[in-house]
Amino acid sequence: MSEFEKIVRDIVFDSPPEEISLVYDNLQVLSDGQSKQQIASIIQEFNEKHRVPAAKGEERYLVSEYNKSGSKYFDPVNKVLFAVDHITREASDIEEYTSEDATQVQSDLYDELSKYVSNFFPDTAVFNVFKIPESDQYAIIVVSNKKSLGDFWTGYWLSEYVYDVDGDTISGEVSVDAHYFEDGNVRFKSTASLESAQTDSPIVSIKQFENEFEKNLINKFQYMNETQFKGLRRRLPVTRAKINWGQGIGNYRLGRDAAQGA
């Protein structure tokens, strides 16, 4: 891997997922527009890894290595085959997908997942169930992405699980990545893993795990604010008054000096 490719990869893979097209523009400037194809292919890799949704009108489709077919992607449940512009994230060239039918397990998981997502995520959330090639496993994926660049924020939710039909087990991970950038750069990230667990109802297990994730998240926020943040800098000194910076400054004693009777 060239030094250039390594650097571009570091930058792309550290970007807020909803800001990739802006990162692409900056990288174009920094590389004098000389490496468009190379940068675009790293972004494609990033999009597949993050299961980024591609849109065509109201329709939104996930891309991943599981639903790739040549240069296109397929959605077996909705029976479409589509191409994706990885910079704009637009889907195009949509055809009917006929090579393979969704399995019964896949359709059932999809229907149940659909109910869960409509109850716990905004209408724009995208989900799917892909068969993992040459296995008895299914990838269950939910993506919820939102942004308002004018209000200086973007956010990305990705949860993904592997359901093993033979063993009736499920494992996976949730990750949340939010970016706020008005006069600054603040990043909030949280992840949690679901260790392989027996289940007779994978979607119920996912719902329980994600509700737990949310509960822990809110508790941790509270702890960070009330304990960690408050421990760094006080709102006001113990005296509850601002410092008298005039002639009176000499009347203050350093706590340490005072304690030592200095």
Partner 1 sequence: MSVDEKYDAACELLYRLDPTKVKTHLQNLIALEPEIAEGLLSSIDIPLTIKKDTDANNKEFLCCDYNRDIDSHRSPWSNQYFPELSAEDLKESPFPSEPLRELEVACNNSFELYRDLYYEGGYTSTYLWDVDESTDFAGVILFKKAESDDSKWDSIHVISATHDEEGMEVTYNVTTTVILHLENLSKEQQLSLSGNLTRENSKTVKLQNVSTVEQLVPAHSSSLGSMIEDIESKLRSMLEIVYFEKTLDIYNVLRERNDDSTKLQKEQHSELIENFQKL
Alpha-carbon gap, residue 253 to 237, rounded angstroms: 13
- CA distances (Å), 105 to each of 108, 111, 112, 201, in order? 5, 10, 11, 12
Q: Does 185 bind partner 1 (CB under 8 A)?
A: yes
Alpha-carbon gap, residue 15 to 255, rounded angstroms: 44
Q: Does 33 bind partner 1 (CB under 8 A)?
A: yes
Nearer to partner 1, 72 or 86 (CB): 86
Alpha-carbon gap, residue 210 to 157, rounded angstroms: 11
Return the ∠ at Cα 42 (arms to 125 and 58), rounded to 5°.
25
Stretch that binds partner 1, among 2-10, 76-84, 90-98, 130-138 (CB under 8 A): 2-10
Residue from the set 85, 135, 136, 237 that interacts with partner 1 by CB under 8 A: 237
- Within residues 213-232, the interface with partner 1 by CB under 8 A covers 213-214, 216-218, 220-221, 223-225, 228-229, 231-232
For residue 163, give every residue at least 6 positions away whose Cβ sits within 8 Å of its Cβ, in sequence order, or none: 109, 137, 138, 140, 169, 170, 199, 202
Q: Does 16 bind partner 1 (CB under 8 A)?
A: yes
Give the shortest CB-215-to-partner 1 separation in angstroms. 10
In terms of Cβ atoms closer than 10 Å to its own Cβ (0-12, 13-18, 19+), residue 181 is middle
Residue from the set 136, 189, 196, 201 that interacts with partner 1 by CB under 8 A: 189
- Number of residues this chain uses to bind partner 1 (CB under 8 A): 79
Residue from the set 118, 135, 196, 208 that interacts with partner 1 by CB under 8 A: 118
Stretch that binds partner 1, among 12-20, 68-76, 106-114, 197-205 (CB under 8 A): 12-20
Which of 63, 54, 21 lies closest to 39 in space, CA to CA?
Answer: 21
Q: Does 105 bind partner 1 (CB under 8 A)?
A: no
Q: Does 19 bind partner 1 (CB under 8 A)?
A: yes
- Within residues 125-184, the interface with partner 1 by CB under 8 A covers 144-146, 153-157, 176, 178-184
- CA distances (Å), 136 to each of 97, 105, 131, 165, in order? 22, 10, 8, 6
Give the shortest CB-112-to-partner 1 separation in angstroms. 15
Q: Does 76 bind partner 1 (CB under 8 A)?
A: no
Q: Which helix (H) or strand (E) covers residue 69, if one does?
A: strand 68-69
Q: Does 92 bind partner 1 (CB under 8 A)?
A: no
CB 62 within 8 A of CB 140: no
Distance of CA 253 to the CA centre of its chain: 50
Stretch that binds partner 1, among 16-24, 49-57, 66-74, 77-85 (CB under 8 A): 16-24
Residue from the set 245, 260, 261, 262 that interacts with partner 1 by CB under 8 A: 245
Give the shortest CB-22-to-partner 1 separation in angstroms. 7
